[in-house]
């Protein structure tokens, strides 16, 4: 099964968590204080990352959480958008590597 992954930048993680928790009717499953939040619903894998070097509200990348993916991969489409493809374990490992 594939779920769309949407990753946005923010300059205010706390407010973003409040806003997107309401919009998604769900709480994040992972919060890295002052850095990152990840929501997973039946239809979307959605994350926000606090990054002052990127314009607030900008798309960081898109992708697919794909249960059949065996490795993490990344490509850039015709519009310059980064697309990632990964399984659940690949994403959790990336988070672990970045913040733990």
pLDDT tens digits, 13-50: 999 999 999 999 999 999 999 999 999 999 999 999 99
Tokens matching residue 96: 């672990």
**φ, ψ (nearest 5 deg) of residue 3:** -125, 140
Give the per-residue pLDDT at 56: 92
- CA 92, distance to chain mean position in Å, is 11
pTM for the whole structure: 0.90
Query: Tokens 């607030």, residue?
Result: 56
Q: Which residue has the higher pLDDT, 46 or 92?
A: 46
Residues whose CB is less than 8 angstroms from the CB of residue 51 and which lie 6 or more positions away in sequence, other chains included: 9, 10, 60
Tokens matching residue 61: 């990348």
Mean pLDDT over 44-58 rounds to: 93
CATH architecture of the region 2-99: Roll (3.10)
Residue-wise burial string across 31-48, b where 16 or more C-beta atoms lie within 10 A, e elsewhere: ebeeebbbbbeeeebbbb
């Amino acid at each position: 099964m594939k779920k769309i992954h949407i990753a946005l930048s923010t300059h205010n993680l706390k407010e973003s968590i409040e806003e997107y928790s309401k919009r998604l009717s769900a709480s994040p499953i992972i919060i890295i204080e002052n850095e990152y939040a990840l929501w997973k619903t039946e239809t979307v894998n959605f994350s926000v990352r606090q990054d002052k070097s990127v314009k607030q509200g900008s798309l960081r990348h898109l992708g697919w959480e794909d249960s059949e993916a065996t490795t993490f991969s990344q490509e850039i489409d015709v519009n310059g958008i980064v697309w990632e493809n990964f399984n659940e374990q690949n994403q959790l490992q990336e988070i672990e590597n970045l913040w733990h």
